[in-house]
Structure 1
């Protein structure tokens, strides 16, 4: 069966071969809450669809309008099988409960590297920040080196990121961008880090050859759905 959990996903779980992220636009904070409940209710009423899905997590956007979905698959083939046999009836039930959902995009990824949680760090993330880093056409091969530079910059500036619990860098399978899923202690800790004077190493990150732009969004973990 399917059960709810408040526990955040273990993004470094080696069983996850195909992490997916997607967003829905629902319009208002009230509809965000209704959509989260509709998804959870729809899934709880059904058996867990496949052993190839390790977990499904929803997050409410601080813009009051969006939902972030993070599904954790063993392989893309497991996801495609789910689409053929289970997805439509679930979406239909959710759309009946909350009409007018705009499904904006679905991204397929491979986790490349992480700045992992320190040993003994038991903090629960109070804020999730996703940053999409777009690269110029033909610059896909530069993405891994860019991630390496970011991780070095984080290691060289521990005081400037005290509120950062972990950061996980995913390469899109279409070669266009990197997605950073960052776990922060709180919104305040993140704001303080952003407001701190920029060091030279971060200037190199921002101006790295091939980087086209950055898009950041803030979320709060709303619910996880996992096999019981």
Structure 2
């Protein structure tokens, strides 16, 4: 089987069979190198057989900072990913590195499939995202109940503030819990970067959002704005 590109560069976040989601960051330096790296990734993957039935999709996003690439891949489980590492990753990365030398691979985190999702705007719910935010929060230690409680508080805040802080152009937020129990990834889809920026710039002083910000045990957060660039899956 060969790699096939999804036409809207978007993975199916609720695809059946997903047991593990991997999210990693590459730093490449400039917008020109971002695009060149995406082209190199597409070439390296499309010129080879799809690696394994255990890899369900692989998607790449351009950071609006002009430096980073975010990678989101869906696997049946850890065993499938480890098999890919042992046998098939190096030749793909070697081809990519030859095309764009000096890529810094800055880390990888493991998540379960989405714990829950929240529709941000009914009028935009069926739209194709042109902007995606990867928002990660980290806690001061592993606690799966705390992960779920924080997500539940965020969803409650979205509901409570919908009248005063409407998410025009917002599609959905998809909350992933890390497998180590210590972080949450909020994968948020927007119709446009402008819609995302306007919502983030609106007043968020409601009590519900104060609870989210002051949630016990939060130790850090990081948000990246991205543009979908490439989404691959196995073809026939």
Given the alignment, which residue of 170, 179, 187 partners 2:176? 170
| Residues 140, 177 of structure 1: 8 Å contact kept | no
**Cα drift, residue 138 of structure 1:** 5.0
**Cα drift, residue 108 of structure 1:** 0.6
1:89-128 alpha-carbon deviations (Å, 9 max, x no partner): 1111111111100000011101322115859932111210
Distance 2:23 2:119 in 1: 20
Given the alignment, which residue of 156, 161, 173 partners 1:157? 161
Matched, 1:223 2:219: no
**Cα drift, residue 80 of structure 1:** 0.9
Distance 1:127 1:226 in 2: 21
**Cα drift, residue 52 of structure 1:** 1.0
1:189-220 alpha-carbon deviations (Å, 9 max, x no partner): 11221122121110110001111122111000
TM score, norm. by length of structure 2: 0.91
Matched, 1:81 2:83: yes
Q: Could you tell me which residue of structure 1 aligns to residue 146 of structure 2?
A: 142
**Cα drift, residue 145 of structure 1:** 0.5
**Cα drift, residue 13 of structure 1:** 2.0
Distance 2:220 2:170 in 1: 22
| Residues 6, 222 of structure 1: 8 Å contact kept | no
Query: Aligned to 1:161, what secondary structure does the other structure show?
Result: coil
4-13 or 196-205: bigger deviation: 4-13
115-124 or 91-100: bigger deviation: 115-124
Matched, 1:181 2:182: no
**Cα drift, residue 10 of structure 1:** 1.5
Distance 2:124 2:116 in 1: 20
| Residues 125, 170 of structure 2: 8 Å contact kept | no
Q: Tell me: CA distance 1:138–1:227, structure 2 relative to 1, closer, same or farther (3 Å).
A: closer
Q: Tell me: CA distance 1:179–1:13, structure 2 relative to 1, closer, same or farther (3 Å).
A: same
Distance 1:185 1:177 in 2: 26
Q: Could you tell me which residue of structure 1 aligns to residue 212 of structure 2?
A: 205
40-49 or 106-115: bigger deviation: 106-115
1:151-197 alpha-carbon deviations (Å, 9 max, x no partner): 11112233422322111111111222111110012111112211221
94-103 or 191-200: bigger deviation: 191-200
Distance 1:20 1:139 in 2: 20
109-118 or 1-10: bigger deviation: 109-118
Aligned length: 228
Distance 1:71 1:187 in 2: 23
Given the alignment, which residue of 58, 63, 73 partners 1:71? 73
